[in-house]
Chain A
Amino acid sequence: MSDDDLDPAIHVPARLRIMVTLASLGEGDDLSFTRLQDLIGLTPGNLITHLRKLEDAGYITTHKNGSGVTARTAVALTNGGRAALDRYSATLRALLDSAGTPVTGTRT
């Protein structure tokens, strides 16, 4: 097993942070774009780029509520995204185990 076994759609710092943050929400919950940006600390442009890649992979959904000044873009993890993050965590744990590194923070 090698680093190549880690899902490339998730194995990027910013996207990993996005996935873990969204996974911390309850099932059926979503997070507004602005709050996610605040939590992740990316520029809007960068965040949009990463969200598009995760959306293309089927790991997240985005939808817009309202219109005009009340418009709110919400981001949510899909069931497939949650499962992908679980697989990513399990692979990461296995890699860290095989390298003899203490495993911390890889539970989803």
Chain B
Amino acid sequence: MNEETGTRNPPGPDEEADAQGAAVMDTQGAAVIMQQARERAGRELRVRRPVLFVTWGLVLLIGYGAMWLSVRGQHPFQGPAWPTLLLALLLLAIAAIITAQVVDRAASGVGGRSEVQRGIFVLALGAGYAALLIEKIALVGAGVSRPIQAVLGVTAPMLVAGLVFVATSASTTGLNWPRLILGLWLLAVAAGASWAGPVTVLAVCALAGGGGVLLMAAIEPRLHRA
């Protein structure tokens, strides 16, 4: 029997015989083929979430962490230094590219309901962040103080992400537990960090937000198996 294909025929002629439906396959061979096909489909068609969690966890940790280092000890509060804002933008761009590549690798060629769900997820996040940007401009125009702008600017994106994660955690293949848990965690971190003030809010979001996402990268494979 050919161990790779689980058939008794050599791989070359077997393919031709297959086309006629004449290949002989025993029960053990069939079990091997099922196992291999399932593993390959799982490997190729499943989004590698741990990669995304590590990427975004590092963005939060480094981005907010750098901003916190730049505002520590400011009296009066002026906000993060420009280089740290540029660093955050660079990290966001890199993370967006990695995310697009990871999702595209798994979702390429897959259509139907999950394609619609992916579209809704992107639309919800995009609309949420666009609304936040408009709100931020309105607040600046209304003369809201820098500390309040800072608290909102740090926690509101996390609130949007958390809400979108929770709202889209139901999928065609069942409940997406990592997304649901992470969404609730981000909501809790954003709400809790709002009480910390304009400086400490950055440290809380870096450690609890970024740390939480990184932790999810470690436990997601276990949640998936369960």
* Interface positions of A (Cβ within 8 A of B): 3, 6, 8, 11-17, 20-21, 24-32, 34-36, 38-39, 42-43, 45-46, 49-50, 53, 65, 72, 74, 76, 89, 92, 95-96, 99, 101, 103-106
Contact = CB atoms under 8 A, between A and B. Distances in A.
A50 B172 contact: no
Interface stretch (B25-33, B161-169, B195-203, B211-219): B25-33
15 contacts: A6-B30, A12-B21, A13-B18, A16-B30, A17-B37, A20-B34, A31-B110, A35-B109, A38-B109, A45-B19, A46-B15, A50-B18, A72-B111, A89-B34, A96-B27
A3 B28 CA distance: 11
Contacts of A46: 15-16, 18-19
B111 A16 contact: no
Contacts of A39: 40-41, 44-45
A29 B31 contact: no
Interface in B17-71: 18-19, 21, 23, 25-38, 40-42, 44-45
Contact of B26 (A3, A104, A106): A3
- Chain B interface residue number, banded: 35 or more
B-side binding surface: helix, strand, loop or mixed? helix
A32 B109 contact: yes
A43 B16 CA distance: 10
Contact of A26 (B6, B16, B31, B171): B171
Contacts of A12: 18, 21, 23, 25
A60 B173 CA distance: 19
B109 A34 contact: yes
B220 interface: no
Given A12-B18, A13-B6, A16-B34, A27 B172 contact: yes
B204 to A, nearest CB: 36
A91 B151 CA distance: 61
B110 A92 contact: no
B5 interface: yes
Contacts of B113: 26-29
B108 interface: yes
